[in-house]
């Protein structure tokens, strides 16, 4: 689980424009990525990681949610 958090934290450290590259244009895959982003944020809040890391995960989650909406709007 720590590996998943680390992967999302690294992605969250990227700018919003770069983070877009992590998201697929495929609706099903985008939802899968969004589920992992939610889980990473939940794990971070439960384990008490730093506030800045939690904020980065929130920004990444919003980016993923926006991309998922675009991918699934068809």
Can you give the pLDDT of all 74 residues of the chain as single tens digits?
555 555 555 555 544 445 444 667 789 998 999 999 999 999 999 999 999 999 999 999 999 999 899 999 96
Question: Can you give the pLDDT at residue 56?
Answer: 92
- Phi and psi of 50, rounded to 5°? -60, 155
Name the pTM for this structure: 0.68
Q: What's the pLDDT at 25? A: 79
At what angle are helices 27-47 and 2-13 packed, to 10 degrees?
Answer: 110
What pLDDT is stored for residue 21 in this prediction? 46
Burial 33-53 (b: 16+ CB within 10 A, else e): bbebbeebbebbeeeebeeeb
Instruction: Give the per-residue pLDDT at 26.
Output: 85
């Amino acid at each position: 689980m720590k590996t998943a958090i680390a992967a999302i934290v690294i992605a969250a450290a990227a700018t919003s424009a770069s983070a877009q590259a992590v998201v697929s244009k495929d609706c099903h895959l985008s939802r899968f990525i969004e589920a992992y982003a939610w889980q990473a944020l939940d794990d971070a809040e439960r384990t008490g990681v730093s506030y800045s890391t939690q904020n980065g995960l929130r920004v990444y989650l919003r980016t993923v949610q926006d991309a998922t909406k675009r991918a699934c709007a068809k």
